[in-house]
Amino acid sequence: MIPRRVLMTVDAVGGVWRYGIDLCRSLNGAGVEVLLACLGPPPRADQVAELADLPRTRLRLLDGPLDWMAPDAAALAGVPALLEEQAQREGCDLLHLNLPSQAAGLRTGLPLVVVSHSCVVTWWQAMRGTALPAEWAWQQALNAEGLARADVVLAPSASHAAALRDAYGLTRTIGVAPNAAEPDPGPSPHGRFVFAAARWWDEGKNAALLDAAAAGMAWPVRAAGGCRGENGQHFVFRHAEALGSLSHGATRTLMRQAAIFASPSRYEPFGLAALEAAQAGAALVLADIPTYREIWSDAALLVDSANPDALAAAVNGLAQDPARREALTARCRARAGQFTAARQLLALLPAYAAAASSSASQAAE
């Protein structure tokens, strides 16, 4: 079953916006209308403008917080009712929620697909390796409830699916629907600089290591992305050039121009920016973490995410060896070519059908 109209939640803070916009394009092409329900801080004007070429997608800004920005569970209590009201009003026949906590307490009988792109619990395990602080236990409880409520649970990588199973003690199946990137028109002449893109206020993106490594790099490092988060976290670059938040178009332009893309993230459930950069023609130097090993192990250079000297040495080696750099670029671009919108849709539509079947079976009981 292909749904006629889907309510999909997004936020404008991180990669879920990019995921949602690109996925809407694929779903619209398959004849599916999408009601894009944005919670948390409102999108920027350039983000809203991206919907102009998506005539079968409509944006709704909902007055509800994101779980990782909420002070407690009570602040999220009204989110399920907001989503139910929108779905009923717009005649949606499936819910695609991109935060598991948003499914906690849902009373709708519509098929429900939950996709976990990241969460505080798996972030904490990757970054701290200890038990979640007691003051955050409510987030684990809400996510667990949402995961249990879903008809189908998806993750963008097998690595993140394994992290979810470990963090929440799950025995249910978690499907993998890899992220995708829109085709790039082709690389520009490569400049002698390293590009990086992330929300740098997030400790998991490892801005401190990138900045320390930049001090020892032969080429300048240009870092796109916000350095101050809505939750008060911030970072100040001293050796890399901080470009601030850029439009998606401006970011892709820099990816085409950069010879090398670096991502030293310690926590990355997929890494959409790395995929876009490889597709744009940059050689990848990435942290040696489970997700990047899964996706890029025999294509990109993987380095110790705790060693700035290792990152600098890897970049400098590529900067000094154009032939090796071009060979790496070709491998990365070939691997990126496997993560197409068509492949993503082939994984997602069966998940929608499975959710519809599960929902119907439960209704018949």
DSSP E strands, the chain = 5-10, 33-38, 57-61, 94-97, 112-115, 152-155, 175-176, 191-197, 221-224, 241-244, 258-263, 283-287, 301-303
> Which residues make beta-bridge pairs with 115?
154
pLDDT at position 364: 62
Q: Contact 61/40 with Cβ under 8 angstroms?
A: no
Neighbouring residues of 130: CB distance < 8 A, sequence distance ≥ 6: 124
pLDDT at position 182: 76
- The answer on pLDDT for 365 being more than 80 is no
pLDDT at position 361: 67
State residue 19 phi and psi, 5-degree precision.
-55, -50
pLDDT at position 232: 77
pLDDT tens for 13-34 read: 888 999 999 999 999 999 999 9
Residues 215, 210: Cα–Cα separation, whole Å: 9
pLDDT tens for 242-275 read: 999 999 999 999 999 999 999 999 999 999 999 9
Neighbouring residues of 272: CB distance < 8 A, sequence distance ≥ 6: 15, 18, 19, 179, 181
Q: What is the DSSP string of 303-346?
A: E-TT-HHHHHHHHHHHHT-HHHHHHHHHHHHHHHTTS-HHHHHH
Nearest by Cα to 298 from 269, 271, 257, 327: 327
Q: Residue 31's Cα: distance from chain center in Å? A: 24
Residues 110, 87: Cα–Cα separation, whole Å: 9
End-to-end CA distance of the chain: 20
Residues 101, 98: Cα–Cα separation, whole Å: 9
pLDDT at position 187: 59
pLDDT at position 147: 98
CB atoms within 10 A of CB 45: 8
State residue 186 phi and psi, 5-degree precision.
130, 145
- The answer on pLDDT for 91 being more than 90 is yes
pLDDT tens for 139-179 read: 999 999 999 999 999 999 999 999 999 999 999 999 999 99
Residues 172, 100: Cα–Cα separation, whole Å: 14
- The answer on pLDDT for 231 being more than 80 is no
Region 50-55: mean pLDDT is 95
pLDDT at position 26: 96
Residues in the chain: 365
Neighbouring residues of 206: CB distance < 8 A, sequence distance ≥ 6: 264, 265, 266, 287, 305
Domains within the chain, CATH numbers bracketed: 5-180+340-364 (3.40.50.2000), 191-336 (3.40.50.2000)
Region 264-289: mean pLDDT is 97
pLDDT tens for 64-76 read: 999 989 999 999 9
H-assigned helices in 30-93:
45-49, 79-89
Q: Contact 177/115 with Cβ under 8 angstroms?
A: yes
Q: What angle do CA 353, 359, 365 make, to 5 degrees?
A: 140
40: region left, alpha or beta (phi > 0 left; psi from -120 to 50 alpha)? left
pLDDT tens for 303-362 read: 999 999 999 999 999 999 999 999 999 999 999 999 999 999 999 999 999 999 988 767
pLDDT at position 309: 98
Region 202-226: mean pLDDT is 97
Residue 91 DSSP code: T
Neighbouring residues of 308: CB distance < 8 A, sequence distance ≥ 6: 209, 210, 212, 213, 216
Region 107-125: mean pLDDT is 96
User: CA 199 → CA 119, 195, 196, 244, distances in Å?
Assistant: 15, 14, 10, 9
The two structure tokens encoding residue 264: 């030293």
Work out the pLDDT band at 186, boundaries 50, 70, 90. Answer: low
Whole-number average pLDDT of the chain: 95
